Structure 1
Amino acid sequence: MFKQTLFPIWSLLFGIAILTMASALQSSLIGIRASLENFDTTATGLIMSAYYLGFIIGSLLVPDWVKNVGHIRVFAAVASLASITILMQSVVVNPWFWMLMRMGTGLCYAALFIVTESWLNDIATNNTRGRLFSIYIIEIWASQTLGQFLLNLSSPSGYGLFILTSVLISLALVPLLLVRTPSPTINVPEKLNILGLIKTAPLGVTGVTIAGATSGALLGLGALYAQSIGMDVIEISLFIGASYIGGMFLQWPIGLLSDRQDRRVTILWVGIVGAITAMVVPLGNNMNNQILMMVGMFLVGAFTFPMYSLASSHMNDQLRPEQILSASSGMILLNGIGGMTGPLIAASLMDMIRIDALFWFVAAMNMSVALVAIYRIHYQPAMVIEEQGDQIQVALAVSSVATAEMLIEADSSIEPLEESHEVEIKL
């Protein structure tokens, strides 16, 4: 009986791992292929930003789709569309067409993560959710790291990697569709709009938005940067993979530290260190030292990628329990807006100034969060440490399932669960 209850969790995690692996491969592949096709940097930035625009659009449309046809049908439909969009990019090589397809991919991934994460959130209980989603966060980073190394399986100039991405997306359907799990019911007692979030936790709003801008710029344009300075495919996969490993490596210790002190102080020093480490990569480029550049990417990932979970944790600290789920949808929307604008601004700077401006942009964004943190520390007294939420047990879960809470508009039409599914996880 225990194995039958545990099976849905691991099959869901497997499906999500395959999806994130495909997403990481696709992101770097598009950046490299855009360079090979001589797209200018601004065009590549627009292509990468289109993904986040599609993600935002999808987040607004998907609740109605789920309300009308249910979770499983939506997942199957958008996974098929995601496979089509990546394949079409290998057939029609045009920046405007790629922008349209990339937008479609973002819309599909919004739906995929909304369905799968809400499903996963329903399986978890209050006693297991923190540990489960901590595993989920680490799994996401590990899958994205592996996705970078799949670049070495075929030449980016051909069709092979496009086909592989499509196959991975289709493969993710198999375990999820074979799991017999009722669709989740999501109830949100109180809604909190964006203006309410800004008033309640301005530092949290700043951090969540900037986190989207920096991660969107790094992951969307990092491969283009590496290609532009002469790295081959193996070196590019190591270069981008180093940032994923850094983000995965320090996610947990930074979270623990933020639980033991004023979280704003952790955000402050992470922003400052993130700004400093972002300058290591351009330094390595100027010194023609690839090892230093790899170390720089590890460090910039380690001190830039955790900003989202830190900022969402700080926001969570300021909210009443009945506001948390509603606030999650606002956080993912803000993160998507940052992810849409970040690559576009960074690409424009790379075109107007020099290629290293990508990391200058990341440094400036990290420092801006630090400045807001300084202001808030002086403006508002610190919370009692015991009153802060536990990031490892709560906030990582909130940041992971933020997209799932987009289904709040459909909650009145989703059938209640016929039975509860409680899962005991022993770590």
Structure 2
Amino acid sequence: MLKQTLFPIWSLLFGIAILTMASALQNSLIGIRASIESFNTSATGLIMSAYYLGFIIGSLLVPNWIKNVGHIRVFAAVASLASITILMQSVIVNPWFWMLMRMCTGLCYAALFIVTESWLNDIATNKTRGRLFSIYIIELWASQTLGQVLLNLASPSGYGLFILSSVLISLALVPLLLVRTPSPTISIPEKLNIMGLIKTAPLGVTGVTIAGVTSGALLGLGALYAKTSGMNVGQISLFIGASYVGGMLLQWPIGRLSDRQDRRVTILWVAIVGAIAAFIVPLGSTLNSQVVMMIGMFFIGAFTFPMYSLASSHINDQLRPEQILSASSGIILLNGVGGMTGPLLAAIFMDWVRLDALFWFVAAMNLSVALVALYRINYQPAMNIEEQGDQIPVALTVSSVATAEMLAEADSSSNHEEKSHEVEIKL
């Protein structure tokens, strides 16, 4: 049955992979080029934060656009705009202009993920959704890793990589427009009571927010850190790619472990190990060993990037079926806010202290999650393992409102048979 589901959407999955590859290329390219153009660290942090601001705005606006004109038209329009924005950054090299363009890029990618993920959910059934999204998540991680390799194809100081990113986005548009699948429909999400979500799952809210902060800081400023440390483009691609590989390889085992014990305990030790791992890169810098620095990035990715999916799963463990939709929208917004503030806060910290402070900042953020987890473990009795839903693997990039909506609708159609079916994106 899964093969029958995958065959009609091979072009859709191909398009998603190309889009993700272009996004990963842009993230590192902008950081490196900002260093080449002598933008200060705070300006680079603002530029990277602007992407997440655009993503948040897009998550709020795009569902209504789709309702008015349909998935295909929205996808074609925003893909074209995303292709233009990255090209414009190669023409006008100014931090304020780049900030505006990155915000537009974030809005475009919000729309692209809303269209593609809701399309996947429309095609999937309750019997195939878990495996389908497992393939989707692995594909995203692999594409982000490959995006780092593309940095080696041209010099970041020229136009080539900007043009390549634009071409990739345009290429992704072609197969998705040719998919012969009825365009899915989604409804505008209901308003979320953020305070209610905080009261329901304070550890989960802390986790998804801090996950955005750490991911935004690492991916937004990691390339700048590597460039300033003296790495060339090839070494930078390996440096950032190591974090993606770490996150991809340990996402599954950490998630499965969290299904077999109190999920808060998994969050606790993952946060602690992630904080310790953050000191490996500065140690490698002190030892002047790029191998140690790349090993450090592998372990940072392995024990920092899975936090979002762990925290999201913990939140969903606490929810009633009718709360899924609004909570999912809130999770996305909180993670987006974290992703927007992370690069900015880390950049300020780096300016005030020193370059290695990026990783001290990541360590501090992970420790803050560990402290909240320790408090909640002592304060709140453990949930029965049978009552926990399955782990929800989530892509490194902020997910879309459409995914939450379609999953919630799928749950309603299955009459809420069991808690683990509240969100079917599971391994």
How much has 1:185 moved relative to structure 2?
3.5
The CA deviation string for residues 165-222 of structure 1, in whole angstroms up to 9 with x for no partner, is 0000011111111012222244699764222211111111100000000000000100
- Kept after mapping to 2: 8 A contact 1:329/1:402: no
Cα 1:4–1:274 change in 2 (3 A) is closer
Cα 1:347–1:398 change in 2 (3 A) is closer
Note if 1:403 corresponds to 2:362. Answer: no
- Kept after mapping to 2: 8 A contact 1:86/1:101: yes
Cα 1:399–1:216 change in 2 (3 A) is closer
Cα 1:318–1:5 change in 2 (3 A) is closer
- Greater relative contact order (Cα < 8 A, sep 6+): 1
What is aligned with 2:135? 135
1:9-408 mapped onto 2 (5 Å cutoff): 9-186=9-186, 192-391=192-391, 395-396=392-393, 402-405=399-402
**Which residue identity does 1:254 align to in structure 2?**
I
- Kept after mapping to 1: 8 A contact 2:335/2:398: no
- Kept after mapping to 1: 8 A contact 2:141/2:244: yes
How much has 1:405 moved relative to structure 2?
3.0
- Kept after mapping to 1: 8 A contact 2:67/2:185: no
Return the alpha-carbon distance in structure 1 between the equivalents of residues 189 and 344 of structure 2: 37
- Kept after mapping to 1: 8 A contact 2:204/2:312: yes
Return the alpha-carbon distance in structure 1 between the equivalents of residues 95 and 294 of structure 2: 30
Stretches (4+) displaced over 4 A: 1-5, 187-192, 397-402, 406-409
Return the alpha-carbon distance in structure 1 between the equivalents of residues 153 and 30 of structure 2: 15
- Kept after mapping to 2: 8 A contact 1:188/1:326: no
Cα 1:334–1:244 change in 2 (3 A) is same
- Kept after mapping to 2: 8 A contact 1:191/1:323: no
Return the alpha-carbon distance in structure 1 between the equivalents of residues 376 and 314 of structure 2: 12
TM-score using structure 2 length: 0.92
Return the alpha-carbon distance in structure 2 between the equivalents of residues 134 and 322 of structure 1: 25
- Kept after mapping to 1: 8 A contact 2:117/2:403: no
Worse-superposed segment, 175-184 or 376-385 = 175-184
Return the alpha-carbon distance in structure 1 between the equivalents of residues 13 and 121 of structure 2: 12
**Which residue identity does 1:165 align to in structure 2?**
S
SS in 2 for 1:172: helix
- Kept after mapping to 2: 8 A contact 1:205/1:315: yes
The CA deviation string for residues 244-299 of structure 1, in whole angstroms up to 9 with x for no partner, is 00000100000010000000000000000000000100011011111110100000
The CA deviation string for residues 126-182 of structure 1, in whole angstroms up to 9 with x for no partner, is 111111111111111110000001000000000000000000001111111101222
- Kept after mapping to 1: 8 A contact 2:276/2:363: yes
Return the alpha-carbon distance in structure 1 between the equivalents of residues 397 and 53 of structure 2: 19
- Kept after mapping to 1: 8 A contact 2:64/2:188: no
Stretches of structure 1 that go unaligned for 5 or more consecutive residues are: 413-426
- Kept after mapping to 2: 8 A contact 1:78/1:112: yes
Return the alpha-carbon distance in structure 1 between the equivalents of residues 54 and 224 of structure 2: 21
Cα 1:399–1:325 change in 2 (3 A) is farther
Worse-superposed segment, 248-257 or 313-322 = 313-322
The CA deviation string for residues 292-344 of structure 1, in whole angstroms up to 9 with x for no partner, is 10100000000000000000000010011222233111111100000000000
The CA deviation string for residues 98-137 of structure 1, in whole angstroms up to 9 with x for no partner, is 0000100001000100111111111111111111111111
**Which residue identity does 2:146 align to in structure 1?**
L
Return the alpha-carbon distance in structure 1 between the equivalents of residues 182 and 193 of structure 2: 29
How much has 1:5 moved relative to structure 2?
4.9
- Kept after mapping to 2: 8 A contact 1:75/1:111: yes
Stretches of structure 2 that go unaligned for 5 or more consecutive residues are: 410-426
Considering only aligned residues, what root-mean-square deviation do their CA atoms show, in Å? 2.2
- Kept after mapping to 1: 8 A contact 2:5/2:124: no
- Kept after mapping to 1: 8 A contact 2:328/2:404: no
SS in 2 for 1:396: coil
What is aligned with 1:423? none
Return the alpha-carbon distance in structure 1 between the equivalents of residues 299 and 285 of structure 2: 15
How much has 1:60 moved relative to structure 2?
1.1
- Kept after mapping to 1: 8 A contact 2:325/2:404: no
- Kept after mapping to 2: 8 A contact 1:309/1:399: no
Worse-superposed segment, 196-205 or 73-82 = 196-205
Return the alpha-carbon distance in structure 2 between the equivalents of residues 220 and 30 of structure 1: 9
What is aligned with 2:414? none
Return the alpha-carbon distance in structure 1 between the equivalents of residues 336 and 56 of structure 2: 6
Return the alpha-carbon distance in structure 1 between the equivalents of residues 15 and 255 of structure 2: 26
What is aligned with 1:417? none
**Which residue identity does 1:75 align to in structure 2?**
F
- Kept after mapping to 2: 8 A contact 1:137/1:400: no
Return the alpha-carbon distance in structure 2 between the equivalents of residues 89 and 368 of structure 1: 36
**Which residue identity does 1:263 align to in structure 2?**
R
